[in-house]
């Protein structure tokens, strides 16, 4: 127990600042009945809908490094990875809470800039900050966001519905985030030619629109977001559905990059696309009979068929230039050394 | 990006273990439609109810120290502090998510024992684990829980409804947690005579039943839980309600302790009761005309009238032995040095 009213006011000041920054994202007809400043936030849930909840943490030194992450980018990404989880259920995100532990020496502008980034993305997707917790950390920044969303039970898409013969699709381009991260680690000076890849790592755009599109049209049998990498997340989907898969290497939408940038990388672009994590694209399966209904793009984001579901549980294969090899889950792992 | 399937399986193993431990707390007729293992958890919300959400983090070296916290106690407390926030709205807790970052060398049994503690309390209050995130931390344990609950809009009790003339009540005994913490810091060997106080710090019992009682009977005009300490939380309540307060020192229910234990403490028991945090009792205000409806105890927990609300915004006073002095918010502050 420490007696420090001066420090208390620092916490109150923080809350006030967060409130001001997020005021801009309050919806015109908000369903938020009570937010920051009481013991809990309260809001209305639409009748006949399921509530969705998802939590994802970002830990300094594990998920990010301030040598290459600006506070606004970190705020954006912390919310983006959570919105992506709601998109991956076919749901509509509504509210979120933030929990942040900061070292005592943290510049107060860091918090302001962090919430500016959070708010930039929140406004884009019409979600509201409902509350949270800010406290001290002995060392390192710890960020945990929880996003709440809703979905009609009939529209909800889990991971377990893929059936043999279903076609496998991915949105956007893959590997950009992992390649961007490798470039950022090489030099904190961001080169112009890196920008597309680096942006994918720092400010991923969650595919909320595609998630809702698949849900409302009843198109996908299973859906997951690509946070751990295609090889790992495909494994998760197949494991939940009790099926296997074959992926065609030449169909994988590898993130575009110039030969000079490619030369800076340790691995081959295809390897990043298959095993690199944090692209936050969607991976989904569609019954053969509905293949005509899947558009080739949605809102400027390409949709690509990359393979097919098979009936061999947990057997994932990768077909490249006439040879077929086992596809093992080799994506990003937060328990490995970073 | 690191390639480590062996480590990946550690994460999967963790999730499996958490699932097994929490299976015991699944309700017979669960409203949880999808939980651990998909991108988000999904559940039904009762029609005509507001959803409540609250997030509280526990950081090693700030909120707890493993030299005196057993993993089961930490799990219990992490959930308790969050359930207390739902109680402080008059709500009924339903589900929770956990987010934990652990140093890589953490004994896997730590996680198992932590969730055992979480589960012990979850079963007691009929709440269910809905999902979460487990990741690595470069140093120190970070725990963040989010609890979801529900309340009828007409029964919800915020902090802002206290009016001049309302009577101020607290539940249980105060200061026990702060005194227990001081004793624990003195020696990791727990003496039998400490047990009541130490237990209050390590395994607080959230006052969910009292919160619901006040809500269902429309008794309280304002309600807050005592997490930061009476002086600080009273300040929060008065600030939100735009009122002041006078507290009578002799009415404060100071946690009982023997003279020999009191001699081990630096401060006076009354100081711990006024400024010590983490008691997780409830502080609430009741209109004068309803004072007869407030019981003297509920389910074995005493309820004590300690003061009255005044019309001077943010002016809190403390009356002791005929003298009146200003009561400043001097409770526990997580930004101060611990």
How do residues B263-289 score in pLDDT, each as one tens digit?
999 999 999 999 999 999 999 999 999
CB within 8 Å: B136 and A59: yes
Chain B window 24-83: which residues touch A at a Cβ cutoff of 8 Å?
33-34, 37-45, 47, 49-57, 59-63
Q: Which of B127, B169, B192 is nearest to B307 (CA)?
A: B169
The residue ranking higher by pLDDT, A43 or B68, is B68
| Residue with more model confidence, B18 or B149 | B149
What confidence tier does B9 reach under pLDDT thresholds 50, 70, 90? low
Vertex A67, ends A62 and A69: CA angle to 5°? 75
b/e per residue A111-147 (b: at least 16 CB within 10 A): bbbbbbbbbbbbebbebbbbbbbbbbbeebbbbbbbb
- Determine whether the interchain pair B335/A10 forms a contact, defined as Cβ–Cβ distance below 8 Å: yes
C-alpha B290/C-alpha B293 separation (Å) is 5
Q: Is B207 exposed, middle or buried (0-12, 13-18, 19+ CB in 10 A)?
A: buried
B186 Cβ neighbours under 8 A, 6+ residues apart = B264
Which letter does DSSP use for residue A64 in this model? B
Return the ∠ at Cα B322 (arms to B321 and B326), rounded to 5°.
90
More confident residue, A228 or A6: A228
**A131: nearest Cα among A112, A141, A145:** A145
Sign of CA dihedral A103, A109, A110, A116: positive
Spatial distance between the Cα atoms of A129 and A10, rounded to a whole number of angstroms: 20
Pairing label, strands A142-151, A92-103: antiparallel
Give the tens place of pLDDT for each residue, B163-183. 999 999 999 999 999 999 999
Comparison of pLDDT for B282 and B133, the residue scoring more: B282
pTM: 0.87
Complex prediction ipTM: 0.83
How many CB atoms are closer than 10 A to CB A39? Answer: 28
pLDDT at A231 over 70: yes
| CB neighbourhood size of A196 (10 A) | 16
On whether any CB of chain B is under 8 Å from the CB of A88, the answer is: yes
Q: pLDDT at position A17, please?
A: 64
Cβ within 8 Å of B, A 257-286? 272, 275-277
List phi, psi (to 5°) of B55.
-130, 130
Contact list, B232 vs chain A (CB under 8 Å): 8
User: Which of A40, A89, A328 has the CB atom closest to B52's CB atom?
Assistant: A40
Interval B65-81 mean pLDDT: 95
Task: Tell whether the model's pLDDT for residue B37 goes beyond 70.
Answer: no
Contact (CB, 8 A) for B72 and B120: yes
Distance CA B320, CA A157 (A): 62
Residues 112-131 of chain A whose Cβ lies under 8 A from any Cβ of chain B: 130-131
Q: What is the pLDDT of residue A193?
A: 82
Does residue A75 contact residue A123 with C-beta atoms inside 8 Å? no
Whole-number average pLDDT of chain B: 87
């Amino acid at each position: 127990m420490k007696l420090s009213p001066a420090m208390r006011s620092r916490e109150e000041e923080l809350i006030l600042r967060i409130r001001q920054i997020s005021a801009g994202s309050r919806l015109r007809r908000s369903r938020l009945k009570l937010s920051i400043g009481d013991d809990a936030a309260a809001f209305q849930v639409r009748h006949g809908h399921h509530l969705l909840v998802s939590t994802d943490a970002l830990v300094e030194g594990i998920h990010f490094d301030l040598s290459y992450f600006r506070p606004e980018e970190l705020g954006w990404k912390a919310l983006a990875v959570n919105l992506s989880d709601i998109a991956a259920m076919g749901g509509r995100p509504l509210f979120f809470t933030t929990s942040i532990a900061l070292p005592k020496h943290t510049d107060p502008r860091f918090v302001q800039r962090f919430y500016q980034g959070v708010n930039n993305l929140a406004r884009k997707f019409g979600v509201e900050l409902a509350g949270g917790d800010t406290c001290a950390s002995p060392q390192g920044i710890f960020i945990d966001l929880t996003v709440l969303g809703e979905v009609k039970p009939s529209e909800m898409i889990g991971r377990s519905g893929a059936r043999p013969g279903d076609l496998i699709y991915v949105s956007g381009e893959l590997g950009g985030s992992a390649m961007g991260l490798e470039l950022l680690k090489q030099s904190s000076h961001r080169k112009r030619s890196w920008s597309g890849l680096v942006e994918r790592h720092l400010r991923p755009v969650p595919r909320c629109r595609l998630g809702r599109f698949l849900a409302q049209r009843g198109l996908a049998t299973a859906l997951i977001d690509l946070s751990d990498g295609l090889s790992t997340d495909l494994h998760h989907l197949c494991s939940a559905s009790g099926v296997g898969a074959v992926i065609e290497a030449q169909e994988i939408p590898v993130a575009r990059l110039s030969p000079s940038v490619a030369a800076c990388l340790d691995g081959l672009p295809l390897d990043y696309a298959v095993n690199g994590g944090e692209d936050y694209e969607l991976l989904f399966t569609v019954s053969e009979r509905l293949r005509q209904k899947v558009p080739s793009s949605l809102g400027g984001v390409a949709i690509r068929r990359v393979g097919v579901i098979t009936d061999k549980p947990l057997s994932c294969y990768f077909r490249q230039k006439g040879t077929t090899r086992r596809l093992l889950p080799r994506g990003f792992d937060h328990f490995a050394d970073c």
